[in-house]
Amino acid sequence: MPQAIEIIFCTCPDKTTAKKLARLLVEKKLAACVNILPGITSVYEWEGKIESVQEQLLLIKSSKDKYQAIEASLYEHHPYEIPEIIAVPVQRGLSEYLDWIDTCLSSK
């Protein structure tokens, strides 16, 4: 039975930052896989102004028990003052894929 799996969302200002953070998480065995979705537009309020910027979105596949380490790593290496780091639980999935995530995250 696989661990509780989460997908963690994190926006990045550019492709270079997104690739750097994705690689860091996979190398540290904090994530089994990180998808980089280019060309998203984020609209939000920051310091009293409505902003609209192009970003890259990371979809980080990991386990619930790795969340704190992922959050700490992203926060430490991310260029944003307050990066978006949001986790959502995976309720269902192909069992072989969920097992693969577990295998990738094991420290063997």
The CATH number of the domain holding residue 97 is 3.30.70.120
- The range of the structural domain enclosing residue 92 comes to 5-105
Question: Residue 2: pLDDT band by 50, 70, 90 thresholds?
Answer: low
Question: Residue 108: pLDDT band by 50, 70, 90 thresholds?
Answer: low
pTM (2 decimals)?
Answer: 0.93
- Whether 55 and 13 have beta carbons less than 8 Å apart is answered as yes
pLDDT above 90 coverage of the chain, percent: 94
Contacts of 66 (CB under 8 A, 6+ apart): 30, 31, 105
- Whether 53 and 83 have beta carbons less than 8 Å apart is answered as no
Task: Tally Cβ neighbours within 10 Å of residue 92.
Answer: 7
The pLDDT of residue 1 is above 80: no
Task: Please give the pLDDT value at position 106.
Answer: 86
**Burial tier of 81 (Cβ tally within 10 Å: 0-12, 13-18, 19+):** exposed
Per-residue model confidence as pLDDT tens digits over 34-77: 999 999 999 999 999 999 999 999 999 999 999 999 999 999 99
Q: How many domains in the chain?
A: 1
